[in-house]
Each structure stands twice: as structure tokens, then as C-alpha cells.
Amino acid sequence: MMRFLRSQSQTVLIVVLAVIGFGFLFYGNAGTLLTSTPGRVHGDYGKIDGEDLTGAQLYDAIRNTRDAFIIQGRGADLNQPGANAEIAEEAWRQLLLLHEADRLHIQVSDKQLIDFIHGMSIFQKNGVYSPEEFQTQLTNIQNNLHISPDMFEAILRKNLLMEATRNALFSGARVSALDIPAQYERYSAPVQVSLVSFDLKSFANSAQITPDAIQAEYKAHPENPAYRTKEKRKVDYVLLELTPEQAKLPAKDKSAAKNALGEKALNFVVSLQPDPAAAPGNMPPADFIEGAKKLGLTPKTTDFFTVETPPAGLPPSTTFNNTAFSLTKDNPISKVAEMDNGVVVMNLKEIQPSDLRPLEEVKPEIVKALQQTQGAQAMEEAAKKAAQQLKAIVGKGTDFKNAAAALNLKVETRPSFVPTQVTEKDAGLRAIAYAVTTVPVGGVSDPVPGENDTILIVHLDSRGKADPAGLAKFETQYRGQEEQHLHIYAYIDWANWQSNRPGTRKPPNLNQYGSTD
């Protein structure tokens, strides 16, 4: 249904998936997600409605769930503790949901999919769907995700299908009566606040790091990248570039020219493959340099370079470096990789492995890291203790400023603001806005993270009156948000109930499948 394009846009996909409610799938401690990769458990992949799941089905579901995080720009969350388990659990829930869609005969037609795409503002021009804008957006997408148009369509279709199924299952869930006017005042009235802050820098600077602690850290974490040299690689490569004239062509013609280069490069890759009729192990490895010359191509060899730095004589290219560092000794020849100015094929020539640096060389970095760690712990403990003390003193009727002074804490007073009017760009004020919605007038908040490595304790000095004109809009938004939360809880409860039905069994040790590595 969609035309073939070699590169796809991460930005576009983030917007697309945000629009269709991908965020619904990730909740709670989804921000505390993945470090370890335990061993697989083979043979039993669970069962749904009497049908055994295959390993391919489970792994595909997990891979899709992980890809969703990356597509949303949340790849960093996958490096947090607990990610493997959360990814695997959500993949299992999605398998249950898709099975239910099949049971209920819920489908997404081509027209529904097309209408959805046409309705997306990112593919519109002056409020109307524009094929040119659609083409432009897709051709500008970063190719590092390697998501084909077919896969792009499948992502949209699958998530529209899950959204339709969730609506069919949970649309009847409604929030109970809410005191909307009180909530409106809480979020939309102007507030005046005072606060005390704790700065990591001061705590880190006062941390005392002993030689024994430095030695212990060095010995305990020899694989810490900060304590090691960078791995370097040398590769042979063939770069097929667009001519200066082709580089200036319109997007459609430029894409066609690049596709022609891709076909030429693909023929080269195919020529390097072993003869399928030959006995395994009897064929010598392909000679990349000679193979290129036979086809009239110009092979070149880089100097040693790291994943973060370009080889000498080549412009910076994430695609080039990532492709080079994805190669292994068992699979030394790359697929055709698309560059901004053409396509490239490469062969792994040599690896200069990472090595542990001498202790004296990395000592300053170890000291700094330990200071940050110990400083953060000390700051958190100090903030927690101060919050408890301030709550107790203020609770007895003492003015917040006097209470803070008694604890040798400096008070800062901020200009009046409305919590719901704080923008995403003002991270520091957003933290304060969140805090003041959790306490009554005259109350002291728990410690909350501020910007620039700070922790804040906020006192709500006063709250004014909200503009009544905004109440109706707020009620619609607030009820929608509360219902979304309710639907999330209903979704989890439903999945737990489905998992315990006769004929359905969650895969044993499900959390061990959370990585697709």
C-alpha cells in the first residue's frame, strides 16, 4: 500500500504513535526499565485459549514492544533496572489483546488506516492531507531504525487494532463522581510558593573519597566504559555516491538514483556470498577487495576509528559508524547501508579491542563518579530529613520561613504562577507546579527533583481563584485523563484475569524474555 523507501523518520513515528495512544501501553514504573539479559528458557512459551505460543510469536511481541519504546524516543528507559520484566509483561498483555481482537472479529480496514493517515497533521499542508508532504516526511526520516514502509503500515494497523479492541473492552468504564471545581482550583488557580533547595554540587564537593574506595571501585567495575579505552575498528568499504547533479534532483528523482546505486551495491554483496552448492566449511572467505575490483568498484580501507568518531577522510556519519560496529568476525560483510550521499557496503578488517586503562589514569574520573554517588545519597537523605522536620514545625503553627531559618535553610520565594500554564520548557517550574498540587495551602511538600541536579521542598503560601471560564474545558480534559488511568488499570486487571483462565498460561519465567539480544 505504501511505496518503498529506504529511510524512515524516527520523529514522524514518534508523533504517529503518540497520536494513536502508544503511551497507553506503558505506565507505572515504565521509566524504571532494563539492564541484565538472563538466559532464555526454551520449549514452553505459554498458551492462549488452548493454543500453544511459539518462540517466534513471543520474541516478535517482545521485539515490537521494545521497538515502540525506541520509536517513542524512550530508548534510554530500556537501560533502567526492571525493564526486561516490564517489556515481557507488556508483550504478553498485547498478545492477549490481539487474540481477543481476533475472537471479537475486530479488524482495521484499509480505508480506516488511510483515513487515519490523512487526518494526521504531520502529513497535511494547510489543514489538508498532502501526498507531497507525506513523501517529504518519510524521505527525511532517519534510516538508523531501518523500518520499511510495510513495517510502518503494520505498526499503524496493529496499534489501531489494539486501540479498537481496548475501546470495545473498556469503553464502559467510567470514573465516579468527582469534585471537579475543587480539582480545577487546585490546578488552575494562581499560587504563591516558597521553597528550599538542595544542590548536588555542594554535597558532592564535600564528599570524602578514600584511596581504598577508589581502589575498590576500580577493581569492582573493570568493564565500566569510563575506565577503558575505546574499541577501534578498521574496515574495507565500497561507497557508491550520488553525482553532484543527482544530489540536486527533486526528492523523487534523487530517491530513484539512490535506489539504482543500491541495486548495484546489492549485486556486489550477493557476489561475495558463498556458493550454496558448496559443502559447508570448504569455501574460503570472500575477498572483499578483489571482489569489488572484479565488478569495477573502488574499494577503500579506513584507518582505526571508534564508534563515535569518523574515519579519516570521511564526513561524520552515524550510519557508517553504526554499520561498521555491527559487524562481527563471523559476519564480517555488511548489508547495503544507505548514506546521505549514496550507499555503502563494508567488510570488517580488524578490531582493536577495548582495554582497561591504568588506575592512575582514570583516578580523577573515579573520584568524580564516587563524589557524585555519595553526594546524591547525602543530598537525598538531607532533603528527606529536612522535609520531615519542616512539616513537623510548620504543623505546629510556625511560619515556613522561620521554620527553615531554624534549620539553617535558605528560603526562596517565586513569582505567582498557574500550575497548568507552566510549559514543558520550564522543567524547574514544572517540578514546583507538581509539588504544589499535592499539598493544601500552608502545607509542605515531600522532596521533589528539580532541575540541574537539585531537590526541592515546596511550601504553598497561598492560592488565588481560578478563572471560571476555563472550568468546562478543564472538566472534559480531567475526566478524560482519569478515564484513561481507569482504562489502564482495567486493561491490567483484564490481562491478569485472562492469564488465569483455563487453556491460557503465561510463559514460565516470562521476565527472562524481556531482551531480544
pLDDT of residue 103: 92
pLDDT of residue 411: 96
Beta strands in 50-144 (DSSP E): 51-52, 124-125, 128-129
Q: How far apart are CA 306 and CA 320, in angstroms?
A: 11
Q: How far apart are CA 17 and CA 156, in angstroms?
A: 8
pLDDT of residue 209: 95
Quote the longest CA-to-CA distance of the chain. Answer: 89
> Which of residues 151 and 265 earns the better pLDDT score?
265
Q: pLDDT (tens digit, 9 = 90+) per residue, 204-257?
A: 999 999 999 999 999 999 988 889 999 999 999 999 999 999 989 888 888 889
- Confidence bin at 64 (pLDDT 50/70/90): confident
- The continuous run of DSSP H or E covering 48 comes out as strand 47-48
132-136: which pairs have CB atoms within 8 A and are 24 or more residues apart? 135/251, 135/252, 136/251
pLDDT > 70: percent of the chain: 83
**pLDDT over 60 (residue 431):** yes
pLDDT of residue 478: 86
* Contact partners, residue 493, CB within 8 Å, separation at least 6: none
- Confidence bin at 327 (pLDDT 50/70/90): very high
The region of weakest confidence among 153-167, 179-193, 455-469, 489-503 is: 153-167
Q: How far apart are CA 321 and CA 310, in angstroms?
A: 7
Q: How far apart are CA 383 and CA 378, in angstroms?
A: 9
Q: How far apart are CA 89 and CA 69, in angstroms?
A: 14
DSSP-derived secondary structure for 306-350: -TTSPPTTS---HHHHHHHTT--SSS-B---EEETTEEEEEEEEE
What is the fold of 10-174+481-513? Triger factor/SurA peptide-binding fold (1.10.4030)
Q: pLDDT (tens digit, 9 = 90+) per residue, 132-176?
A: 887 776 665 444 455 566 667 777 888 899 989 988 998 877 766
The region of weakest confidence among 57-71, 294-308, 340-354, 394-408 is: 57-71
DSSP state of 28: T
Residue-range domain boundaries for the chain: 10-174+481-513, 190-219+360-464, 230-352
pLDDT of residue 76: 65
- What is this structure's pTM? 0.57
Q: How far apart are CA 339 and CA 370, in angstroms?
A: 41
Q: pLDDT (tens digit, 9 = 90+) per residue, 473-506?
A: 988 888 888 888 888 889 999 999 999 999 999 9
Q: Counting beta carbons within 10 angstroms of the beta carbon of residue 422, is it exposed (0 to 12), middle (13 to 18) or buried (19 or more)?
A: middle
Residue 515, Cα to own-chain centre: how many angstroms? 14
**pLDDT over 90 (residue 279):** no
22-61 b/e (C-beta count within 10 Å ≥ 16 → b)? beebbbeebeebbeeeeeeeeeebbebeeeebeeebbeeb
Average pLDDT over residues 301-319: 92
Q: Is 240 helix (H, G, I), strand (E, B) or coil?
A: strand
Q: How far apart are CA 386 and CA 448, in angstroms?
A: 12
- The domain 230-352: what is its CATH number? 3.10.50
